[in-house]
């Protein structure tokens, strides 16, 4: 009888442990957030204006039009959207400015020169958006994101003001990045939205090896202000 009681006790304890464990395992096999979330993918080309890349002391790389695109995958949960985004954008260099002292005669100078080259931003961002609910086919949204960006200066060429010779540099750096977005979603179909919005994208300071102003055979490790871009974007979001 004692053996029979022990067998029943063992069976009871095994069930008491295994059933809750199985229930908890099923409940947490996937985060609760994902049970009610709907996946989406978005693609948004953009065009805008990039601020100049300036060094606090004496150098400034001038840029103009900025263009590129972003691809994102994420989940919608009620009015919130969370996404992982990869973006690639470029700016054309259109000038170079030097402010400083002439080492030969000691005079203060401010020299503007022709320059060419490309600045390329490749970023990986985690974004969050809030979509304001309405009873219309249009819904405003606002959001932001943080991440990192690889900012590359490619084929930077300038014509030296005094010697008329060409000086060239290329380098890249990785900097923390952030962005802010506001815009509007327009429902084109039950699972397709048109996106029209404004985006500000910025990075931290950037270190580039750029040729010395007075001796282009020597590179200087210079710290420049980071990317500051204002963009107008148009895109599509496909909801699944």
Q: Model confidence over 14-51: pLDDT tens digits?
A: 444 344 444 434 434 455 455 577 899 999 999 998 88
Distance CA 189, CA 46 (A): 23
Residue 187, Cβ density class (10 Å: 0-12 exposed, 13-18 middle, ≥19 buried): middle
Same domain for 2 and 93?
no
Read off φ and ψ for residue 12, nearest 5 degrees. -65, -45
Same domain for 25 and 39?
no
Same domain for 193 and 204?
yes
Decide if pLDDT at 220 tops 80. no
The set of residues, in sequence order, having a beta carbon less than 8 Å from that of 163 and lying 6+ positions away, is none
Read off φ and ψ for residue 3, nearest 5 degrees. -65, -40
Tokens of 78: 């009620």
Strand segments, DSSP code E, in the chain are 38-50, 53-54, 59-77, 80-101, 108-113, 115-131, 138-159, 166-189, 192-203, 206-211, 219-224, 228-239
The string of DSSP codes covering 78-89 is TTEEEEEEEEEE
**How does residue 8 score in pLDDT terms, banded at 50, 70 and 90?**
very low
- pLDDT, residue 6, reads 45
- Total-model pTM: 0.76
- pLDDT, residue 82, reads 95
Same domain for 178 and 127?
yes
Q: What is the CATH number of the domain that holds 232?
A: 2.40.160.20
Same domain for 26 and 36?
no
User: Cα dist. 148→40, 139, 174, 178, 236 in Å?
Assistant: 22, 29, 7, 8, 24
Residue 58, Cβ density class (10 Å: 0-12 exposed, 13-18 middle, ≥19 buried): middle
Residue pointed to by tokens 């590359």: 152
Same domain for 235 and 197?
yes
Same domain for 59 and 12?
no
Query: Closest by alpha carbon to 57, among 6, 123, 108?
Result: 108
Same domain for 46 and 60?
yes
Domain that holds residue 14: 1-30
Choose from 11-25, 52-66, 104-118, 129-143 the range with maximum mean pLDDT. 129-143
The set of residues, in sequence order, having a beta carbon less than 8 Å from that of 89 and lying 6+ positions away, is 46, 66, 67, 68, 69, 120, 121, 123, 201, 229, 231
Same domain for 6 and 113?
no
- Please write the tens of the pLDDT for every residue from 60-104: 888 888 999 999 999 998 889 999 999 999 998 888 777 766 655
Same domain for 55 and 20?
no
Contact 110, 98 (CB under 8 A): yes
Q: How many domains does the chain have?
A: 2
Same domain for 110 and 184?
yes
Decide if pLDDT at 128 tops 50. yes
Same domain for 84 and 67?
yes
Read off φ and ψ for residue 78, nearest 5 degrees. 55, -120
More confident residue, 225 or 44: 44
Decide if pLDDT at 194 tops 60. yes
């Amino acid at each position: 009888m004692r053996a029979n009681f022990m067998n029943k006790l063992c069976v009871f304890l095994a069930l008491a442990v295994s059933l809750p464990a199985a229930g908890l395992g099923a409940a947490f096999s996937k985060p609760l957030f994902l049970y009610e979330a709907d996946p989406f993918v978005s693609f948004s080309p953009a065009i805008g204006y990039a601020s100049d890349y300036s060094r606090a002391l004496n150098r400034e790389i001038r840029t103009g039009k900025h263009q590129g695109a972003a691809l994102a995958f994420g989940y919608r949960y009620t009015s919130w959207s969370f996404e992982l985004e990869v973006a690639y954008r470029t700016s054309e260099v259109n000038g170079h400015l030097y402010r400083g002292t002439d080492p030969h005669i000691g005079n203060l100078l401010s020299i503007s020169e022709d320059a060419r080259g490309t600045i390329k931003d490749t970023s990986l961002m985690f974004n969050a958006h809030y979509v304001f609910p309405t009873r219309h086919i249009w819904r405003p949204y606002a959001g932001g994101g943080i991440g990192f960006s690889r900012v590359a200066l490619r084929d930077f060429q300038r014509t030296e003001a005094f010697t008329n010779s060409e000086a060239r540099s290329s380098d890249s750096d990785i900097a923390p990045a952030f962005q802010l977005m506001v815009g509007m979603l327009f429902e084109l179909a039950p699972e397709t939205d048109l996106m029209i919005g404004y985006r500000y994208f910025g990075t931290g300071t950037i270190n580039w090896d750029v040729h010395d102003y007075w001796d282009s055979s020597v590179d200087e490790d210079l710290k420049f202000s980071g990317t500051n871009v204002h963009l107008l974007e148009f895109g599509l979001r496909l909801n699944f």
